[in-house]
């Protein structure tokens, strides 16, 4: 990481603003409207759409080398996998974690210690928060505690794209790298495949908000990302038109230097076999057509 890099949360820590954000976010644990479902419940007493309580479910952590190369570098991306999710994708490849909440309950102090461990013991290049939306209050408190212990790594917000602008406002100046999915341009696909009827609208709002906060992707002299926007799109079989519209939206509406990962690793998982289009792997012909279109648009591809 470049010597001049200083993560945003350290600046907020110095002014006391980070602690204020923690206090504001905590309100959602007793009146949760973190994501667009707006369940408006006390998570200490009831379960909302995501089924998470007020305590973090840790599904795993450690250096990860399967992410985008700009995050991995030599020592890996310091990933923290959270249990549960605010979507119900029928093709989810991690349904035991996303739906079943497999993992262990940990305190915010333990989460902070994990962040510091990834920096000190594993020398990871960043802290990569995977499916973090429903645990934003816990994460912010953990970041506060970790920063007080010397954490200096950039934070990656690795999410499904179904975000609420008000929650992203809590994260402004704290998250250095946003890495959302952009699954569907077509609204009906969000309802049919992920049980979120307004995904297309919410993801576009979220992408613009993220872009306004961090802009296009910035890398240091060694090619490691330290700030900016990375957008992932998992191509689905039989849905080339959706993919082309996603790519066109990125080109027309977002910073020209955001990084786009057009992913071809789809395979039928979970309940995908019940859906005719999703019951087969993605064809190389479909992927090549989309990749060529992305090249023609001039997108920055990973």
Residue 201 lies in a domain: yes
For residues 265-286, give the mean pLDDT.
96
Distance between CA atoms of residues 302 and 299, nearest Å? 10
User: What is the average pLDDT across 191-203?
Assistant: 96
pLDDT digits (tens, 9 = 90+) for 53-85: 999 999 999 999 998 999 999 999 999 999 999
pLDDT in tens, 111-150: 999 999 999 999 999 999 999 999 999 999 999 999 999 9
Confidence of residue 2 (pLDDT cuts 50, 70, 90): very low
75/280 Cα distance (integer angstroms): 35
The pLDDT, as a whole number, for residue 79 is: 98
The SS3 of residue 218 is strand
**pLDDT above 80 (res 4):** no
Tell me the angle at which helices 199-214 and 240-253 cross, rounded to the nearest 10 degrees: 30
Query: Which helix (H) or strand (E) segment is 258 a member of?
Result: none
Instruction: Specify if 270 maps to a domain.
Output: yes
Is 64 inside a domain boundary? Answer: yes
The answer to pTM > 0.85 is yes
Q: For residue 135, which of 158, 118, 152 has the smallest C-alpha distance?
A: 158
The reply to whether 37 falls in a domain is no
Q: pLDDT grade, residue 22 (50/70/90)?
A: very high
Structural tokens at position 188: 């009906």
Q: Nearest Cα to 85, choosing from 234, 194, 235?
A: 194
Is the residue at 34 inside a domain?
Answer: no
Task: Give yes or no for residue 294 having a pLDDT over 60.
Answer: yes
pLDDT band for 187, please (50, 70, 90 cuts): confident
What sign results for the dihedral spanned by CA atoms 213, 160, 225, 244? negative
Is residue 140 included in any domain, yes or no? yes
Mean model confidence pLDDT for the chain: 96
Q: Considering its fold, how many domains does the chain have in total?
A: 1
**Domain annotation covers residue 213:** yes
Q: pLDDT tens for residues 209-226?
A: 999 999 999 999 999 999
Task: In whole angstroms, give the CA distance from residue 41 to residue 30.
Answer: 6
Task: Quote the DSSP letter at residue 279.
Answer: G
Domain that holds residue 284: 8-25+54-301
Residue 259 parent element (H or E)? strand 259-263
Distance between CA atoms of residues 300 and 201, nearest Å: 24
Strands 104-106 and 155-159, by their bridges, are unpaired
User: Largest alpha-carbon pair distance within the chain?
Assistant: 55
CATH number at residue 82: 3.20.20.70
Whether residue 42 lies inside any domain: the answer is no
Q: Are 34 and 167 in contact (CB under 8 A)?
A: yes
């Amino acid at each position: 990481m470049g010597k001049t890099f200083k993560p945003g949360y350290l600046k907020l820590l110095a002014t006391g603003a980070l602690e204020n954000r923690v206090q504001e976010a905590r309100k959602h644990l007793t009146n949760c409207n973190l994501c667009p479902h707006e369940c408006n419940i006390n998570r200490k007493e009831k379960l909302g759409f995501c089924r998470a309580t007020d305590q973090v479910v840790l599904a795993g952590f450690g250096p990860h080398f399967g992410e985008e190369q700009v995050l991995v570098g030599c020592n890996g991306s310091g990933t923290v996998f959270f249990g549960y999710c605010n979507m119900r994708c029928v093709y989810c490849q991690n349904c035991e974690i996303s739906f079943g909440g497999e993992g262990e309950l940990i305190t915010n102090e333990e989460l902070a210690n994990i962040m510091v461990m990834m920096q000190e013991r594993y020398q990871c290049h960043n802290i990569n928060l995977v499916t973090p939306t429903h645990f934003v209050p816990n994460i912010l408190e953990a970041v506060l505690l970790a920063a007080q212990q010397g954490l200096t790594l950039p934070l990656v917000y690795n999410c499904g794209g179904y975000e609420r602008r008000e929650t992203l406002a809590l994260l402004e100046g704290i998250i250095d790298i946003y890495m959302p999915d952009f699954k569907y341009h077509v609204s009906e696909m969000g309802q049919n495949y992920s049980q979120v009827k307004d995904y297309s609208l919410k993801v576009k709002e979220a992408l613009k908000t993220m872009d306004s906060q961090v802009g296009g992707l910035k890398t240091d002299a060694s090619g490691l990302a330290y700030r900016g926007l990375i957008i992932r799109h998992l191509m689905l079989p039989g849905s080339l038109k959706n993919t082309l519209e996603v790519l066109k939206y990125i080109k027309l509406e977002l910073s020209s230097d955001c990084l786009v990962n057009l992913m071809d690793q789809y395979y039928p998982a979970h309940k995908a076999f019940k859906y005719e289009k999703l019951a087969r792997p993605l064809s190389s012909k479909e992927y090549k057509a989309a990749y060529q279109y992305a090249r023609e648009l001039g997108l920055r591809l990973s």
